[in-house]
Amino acid sequence: MPLNSLLDLELSVSNPDDVIAFWSDLGMATTDGVTLGTLDRPTQLRIKESTYRHVSEMHLGCSDEADLVAMAARLDVLGVRATMTDGVLRCQDPILDHEVIVEVSTQEPITTPDREPLNRPGTRERINQRSRAAMPGATPLPRRVGHVVYGTPDVAASTKFYNEGIGFRISDSIENGVGVFLRCTPDHHNMLLMPAPIPCMNHYALEMDDFDAIGAVGSRIVAERPEASIYGIGRHVLGANLFWYLLDPAGGMFELFADMDQILDDDAWEANERRDDWDPFTIASWEPAMAKMDFFLPADIEQLGAAREAAGR
């Protein structure tokens, strides 16, 4: 796969200081007051001021400069102009209207967390010791930005741009244009495209170590802002990841996730049983309750549309 990484996202919001303070309080570090990073990857989110909330840049990595040349040629066939300078390709998403930046780069590997010993039927690993997950301690840290989900007025056109132009691979799709999951890493998805009346960000997602880390961070957020919880904790069907969806201080939805399907062999993945009769509204294999409507479309979609129009978008 020529693409090899989702390097970072630039989020534009009306209250950048609040968003930076929120994630800093949850353990993401910033050295310049704008860029938020994790323990292993110092640049994961860049927060910019804007009159409305949206992803303004998506930053990807690829293997070598030949990949950029091939990408520029594919984009030209699609009628999308790209510029390339010093190993960096730039173009504008023709539907979602944010900048896509691709450079020859690889990401730093993620440090593997210590494995928590488990007691399961027939196997007892934690003997004469208390579970660290059950004891008070430091709040678990986000590990990386793993994916982003966009609402698009034309799922088919957006899919063509990212699949045929940029080079994302399709992992799964939901019938009748309900959604397309794409990847640029072994993760089941680094992007999901969903229908929306206007271009918008549905959510961005940060990987956590495990179920307990999701629960600890999500519970801390909800203790301060009960209304922040949108959906979770649960486990998805497509992607199979554990999830909890919440709102950041800008009203943007984000997901805390863990244990996502990994795809290293396309043929082997396609050979797996696929549920062709899958109901697109069966989002999770288990969940505590139905998702709020914010999960499907931002609650402030009309305000976002008005602000986009006022900004000339």
Structural domain includes residue 133:
no
The pLDDT of residue 175 is 77
- Per-residue model confidence as pLDDT tens digits over 241-277: 999 999 999 999 999 999 999 999 998 998 776 666 5
Structural domain includes residue 219:
yes
The pLDDT of residue 281 is 67
Which of these ranges, 98-107, 172-181, 183-192, 199-208, has the smallest mean pLDDT? Answer: 172-181
Structural domain includes residue 131:
no
Q: Strand, helix or coil at 82?
A: strand
Structural domain includes residue 115:
no
Structural domain includes residue 229:
yes
Q: Which residues, 6 or more positions from 15, have their beta carbon under 8 angstroms from its beta carbon?
A: 249, 250
Which of these ranges, 69-73, 136-140, 202-206, 306-310, has the smallest mean pLDDT? Answer: 136-140
State the residue range of the domain holding 150: 3-108+142-310
Structural domain includes residue 57:
yes
The pLDDT of residue 74 is 97
- Per-residue model confidence as pLDDT tens digits over 46-88: 999 999 999 999 999 999 999 999 999 999 999 999 999 989 9
Structural domain includes residue 120:
no
Cα 151 from Cα 198, distance rounded (Å):
7
In this structure, what token pair is assigned to residue 24?
A: 């800093």
Q: Is the pLDDT of residue 278 over 70?
A: no
110, with CB counted inside 10 A (0-12, 13-18, 19+), is middle
In this structure, what token pair is assigned to residue 153?
A: 């007025």
In this structure, what token pair is assigned to residue 300?
A: 């402030």
Structural domain includes residue 170:
yes
Give the Å distances, CA to CA, from 73 to 67, 79, 81, 144. Answer: 10, 10, 9, 31
Domain count of the chain?
1
Supply the CATH number for residue 177's domain. Answer: 3.10.180.10
